[in-house]
Structure 1
Amino acid sequence: MHGAMHSTKDKKESTATNHHTIYRLKPLDQLTNLNNNNNNNNCDNKHDNNESTTTSSSSIIPYDCYVFVIYCPLHEKLAITRQTDRQIVWLPFTRTISIIDNDYRFTDQAINGVLTILSDNNAERLKLLCKTLPFQQCHCMQIFRIQSPQTSKFAIRLTYFVELSRSTANDNNKFICCQDSEHIKWIAICELLNNNYIPNLWGPELIQFCRQSRKKPIAQQIRELSLEKAYFFLPRDTARNLEESILKSAHLTDKDVERLYQDFIEHCFPSTYQTFESFRCYMSKYGFDRNDCRLNSLFNAFNFQNNGFLSFHELLLGLATIEPDTVHGEWRVRFIFRYYNNNGTGNLDMNEFQRMIIDLNQGLSLSIESINLKIRESLHEIGTKLVNNKCVITCDDFVQAIGSHRFRGTSSLCRSSKSLFELLSRTVSAKALKKSDRFFNMDAIIDQFKGICFNCKTKQYFLANHSIKLNRNGLIVQSKMLEQQQLFSINQQQMKPYELAALNYSKEIQFNFESSVSNLLITLIRQFNPDKGTNRKPKGLLENDPELLWKLVNVLCNDMERLLDHEDKCVRIQSPCYVIGDIHGNLDDLLQMEQVLWKRLPCMGSNFLFLGDYVDRGQWSIECCLYLMSFKILCPNKVTLLRGNHEVRSLQTYYTYKNECLRKYGKIYGEYIWESTNKVFDKLPISATIDASIFCSHGGIPKTAQTLNEINQIKRKLVDPEKESISAWEILWSDPCHNQQFVEMCNFFGIDHQETNGYLSNMKRGTAYQFNEFAATRFLHKNGLRRMIRAHEVPQMGYQFHFNGKCLTIFSCSHYCGNQNHCALILIDQQILRIIRLDTYDNNDSKS
């Protein structure tokens, strides 16, 4: 932790010299008020007999913050948040400063946060405390990362232990310790640790950090709560344990887990657990009465670790257990046992068992004698033991009796009347529509937005600058500027710069068929195709005038480079989208795709994603390359070109692309053209996501970069990716490997497959890795994704599924190297992935 180990003396000097920066730090929500907003209706404000009024934490996306364990050694007291009608009890905390000076470090911020809290955010007292710090150490105890599924980014919660100086104040210039203020109060540590119940405690960290701080020296912890960990018990085809089996029987999907995880962290923040107070506020959002005494029993049942607070997985498994349709197995039986075992002894006494029998016969008018008779009969079937001179039922006997059907009827116990996960799904939908958290009436939502999607309500529409004319084949044959006086008047002086640029782009690039280089090249390639020759005797575009082609290529590549300078290494794309695999110089297939998918270029409705490998192997690599670049320039926001492993100079020299350029255009111009196109390849992105759900790349996933953010950190220009970026090289070259084959290869090489993290050296390629389902699933879950699409391999049908459909290979070059493989591509639209195979049988003629 940079800056965490500086001495207190250094901090005094730093704070004294930079005291003006303190005023930029404001207490977070007035230090304690987690709920002080206008949207505070997660639960009703009701008074309990012996408790203060509390409300639940409103949904907050986690953000970077500091948490303080402020300890007074003189009075053995600890600072906690002050309890008022709208507040709960926790540790004081502040938000981090968004802009940090170069000499302003993490611990400097922490010191400023402490001073702000101790001064009660009073400017005069703050100045006095800056002169002489009232504490002798400020030590980082814990670094906790919390991932938000909304953004996939991590928020950092830094916890600092602050020990006040032991000196007492005799004048007004010194700090007086343990003085309650508007926002904090002081509590004796002995009272905090010995008292089993603290009213309105929001999270257990208050007690945990207190205990940790009493152990000297104080160790620093680094922990994390991520979406990947939330998926830990996500069921597979065959459940591995009771936890997975209960989630599977409840029919929970990864989206259910993700929604609950998001709801959990937003409710608990800045804590990462639920105390009973937090739990009952949470359950009140879903129809439970927060004052229902049964919530205490439900909390005990959820808390299978029996530590007094709930983790995310305990909440997930608990909610799955009480679902209306969850299978009644061993997990539910043990859950029911904990529900009725309120004394926490691990054994049911007779009073607890009587309560269970009464609940089993709820609705029946039974006399006391009848109830006692049923209890005696049930005890006989289950069996009892004598513990501390008391007759009790053990958990194992209870489970065995129900499993052998000696004791029946418990399946109806501990079930909610409606699915809480359905309510949660509706809540998330309501939030997306900016509705209240308690708005569950989906029919009203549908009626309100019927006939128009929500996103369209906020969009603005602009009239295009051109009208177009189509011939009978659907191709654009004429473009005409709209007559301004008939439709609207354009005042260029009043137009914004980007609007004027769009107008010029449309006029000069997209619809200028006579002088736009990109339009001209596409037209020339269409005209060239019928007379391009055969595989044995291929011809080249403008091969009789290489100087003219070079001039066109030079302009085209310069435009492409400027365009790519503004693209990320991982591009975000929205559906509908066509995904197209390897092209490999197959001009026939490429132009057939044009006729089927985008012949009204540049007037298109869908996006197009090409997965790389445009050159090598085929005889018309240069023509395919120039066509795709022109396509990109004409439709920069509709077309995305990814880099493949063949868009690298060393491979092109070994295979055919460089020789093709030299053969068609001579040594000088051929070298110029080859080098210019490769400068464009150097800047191509290497991956993309579609609808923030599908990961796309040429080869696969990287071993050395596990997040999309790491991929985006790869530098834009990679002349030699093998040497300049290992992660990029892995993305270009890696292959999926089915689990059985993966295990067999590990056994062959004497490697324990469980220690590989799902990656094995790629023997068939001689570089990068093969990855199995475990590695793919972990990468997808870590980035909030669901599937991946890649190219790089040649399936006979043009496509191939891996890992039960989680990964899909697509190949869009038929008759590859003389084979009889098909050409295929993917259409992604309305959450459906549709495989499209092109009939390219006649295209085989050009191969002969």
Structure 2
Amino acid sequence: MSAKMSQMQGNGKLHDVVSVLVYFKTKGKHELRFLFCELGGSLYLPWEEVKMKERCRRVGDTTPSPEHWRRDVSYDKIARDIAVRTMEGMSGQFSTAPQLVQLTRVFISDLEGHYQHLVFCVQAEEKFSTQLLAKPPSDHRRALTLAELYNLKRGQLERRDIITLAEHVSHALCRLMQSKSAGKSDTFGALVREVGVGWLWEGQEDGQMSSYQALLRAPGYNHDSVSVLYEEFIRSSYPHTTVCLNDIKELLSHLGWKDKEESVFRAFDKEKTGELSLEEFFYGMAAIDTKTNHGQGPAEVRCRCIFRYYDTNEDDRLEISEVEAMVRDIEALHGRDTSQQTITAKTKEALQIFGVVDQVPLSLSSFLSAVGNLKFRGTSVLLRALVSPIMHLTSTHRHPSRKRSVSSDCSENDLKIQKVGSDTGLDGTTDNELEAVKMLVGRDLVDQELPMVLSSNSEASIPLSEGAFQSQDGQKYSLAQHTVKVRRSGQITDIHRLLDMERAGEVSDTGLDTDEASDHSPDPKSPKELVQQCMKIPTARHRLINRFQSYEAFDTKSLSNEMVAALRFFEHQKKNKPALHWGEVDMVKLGQYIISLCNAVREKFENEPRLLRLSTPCYILGDLHGNFRDLVCFEKGLWRVGPQLTPANFLFLGDYVDRGAYGIEVVAYLFALKLQASNKFFLLRGNHEVREIQQAFTFHSECLQKFGERLGQSVWEAVNSAFDCMPLAAIVDKRIFCIHGGIPKLEGSLSELEKIPCPLVHPESESYTAWQMMWNDPIAAEDFHDGTEKELEENKGFAYNYKRQTALLFNRAAFDNFLKQFGLTHVVRAHEVKQAGFEIQQGGQLMTVFSSSHYCGGSNEAACILLHNYQIRVIRIDTS
């Protein structure tokens, strides 16, 4: 049967199917025995595929008909023929005509119709019982009672649905025997099931979604995306309504789990039945999707899957060895040391975090608690496919019609925007390009978790093949996998994969088709072979992930680029819409989308150190305070073609919100670019990235005003949840210390900064060092009061900051000592408005930069700093 089913699925065609449940009464007992065929240790109902003739069309009629399958066949006759063949070699007759006991109708819109699986029951004469039970055990038929069916182990029945059918027949016969009208004309009644995609995807209000329903929306699936998963499920499961491991083993292998398919299937199988329902299959695919975030509801579901993945004996406990396996995978996926000594030590630390003592296994509740409270970190990289299941399925022969139309995006009607005519934007943006805005939808997404695997490592740290090109300083270069087309305005219009161009003959030899394999591996002949080779070669897997992320950075349907496209619409003046206005955009959907963005970027911040170490060239920007207009000016002047195509790092020193009118837009833009170029775009936390400060100023009220009280509060909390995890300082080229406020009073080494908690919800009480870095100022003449000099002398150059009524001031002695103590040459900070946009102090070694012009209605300019070629250059931006 398995071979036959495989053949049916392989040819891409589905047909009606008839199955038969043969039963007979056991002599002298009031119980039934049900007859099954056996193949490979599994019991199944005999069945037959019903192929029907295509309906004759009128002459010249070339239009396909939605009812092109004729259903004028006699299903009950087919059922009797199946029963006769099943009883071959045994004498006797059937006591009843075949009666329909179950009808399953499966709908696939792309195939223009539905298909049905009909199950009939047939009663055989009692003599069959004696003959069958006398057969030797090697016979391929088995007759079991209902009680014996209950006792069968998982996997011994092809589908557990068989038990439901047997119960239905048994109960129906009991009712008939008790009925006075029992006779040949009596019928059992049929169980009717209709399977379609809409019941799972539609009809759920966002506010009423469970964590599982939210998970399905987390990767940004739209109706077409879900239809692709649905069709794959039907082709794998039909004529049943569940899939077993063998049905999807090949798919799981292609997604990156060669030889580990059973573990992934176990992760999906939350009911431990050995089968996956349509719902479990959908949720499993969403859980492993590269675009599913690892925060809030989706994170809980994913963690439950991860727990089952490592729970090899399915006892709802993780043994020490299973925890060690998890720790090993986390370290390997992060590219860290996986020696046994290191893994043993890391496992011991993990067990302490989980509260495991005396070799007691780890419970699911303890695991979820530790991960949910961010005590045990790193699970976001686990259980991730090499590529999004949707992307894989739409690129294979099974779904050729969806290659262009389906992606992990959103319905164009989800965010309603006023209709725009043929006018263009301020920089020539056309109506077609504004269609990207319509892709927005509320989705809890993104770690875009696959990129999250790389977020704690720069591109240079990702292992490269031995054939990669190496520079004189020892750093290795590798060829990017795509070419980008850019307009004169700086806008990216198109990207092409170099490998596709090579295959089309446009370029000669990129080496990308063989770079994934080692020197000792044969060239991959197909995507399947490529993935299999990458799974065997750890460095190749990292390379594949790196290239996928690189491509995603330019994908117009990605979360970050959709957000940027929406902000372009917000920025531009259009017909019936002024500049810096959302027009008729559905703000509920926009708010939900921003929440998804925050969930995604939070995980980026979580995986960054508290003290960043960057290299030049590097642009440094100071306070923005909700000034979206000036942020756009900086974009057009510094990274017009995007950060990925600009050969520099970008460091923002904090204070993104409050005071200005567009705090949420500034945050959305910066978070989007952080997702788009996480290894080049860096954000530090300022003193206004704190809840209490925002409630005293304007950002909290801004969120409520733009999104309403309920959703606005959720948006505000999501933004601050990301702020809580932001890095606090950076060192550029090992010499220039960058911070929002000022140097802290630090007794130990700079490594002390790494011990600052993450997340840091209440900086003032949880880490006074962090609070100083967000608030400290260099002392000015007006800061001197009675006793200030004595306080500075007693505290090594630090004194209380009376002007701000919190944190500290520092003088030249404290500043010089800080540089000398930590081997630094300069400090770049923000935090104070300057008329020229910048100020230089302490003999040119301390620079303050402010990047929001006309702050609070003033006349100040906006500036930034460029570190390049061992020069510190101040750049003032004309924002007029």
The answer to whether TM tops 0.5 is: no
TM-score normalised according to structure 1 size:
0.44
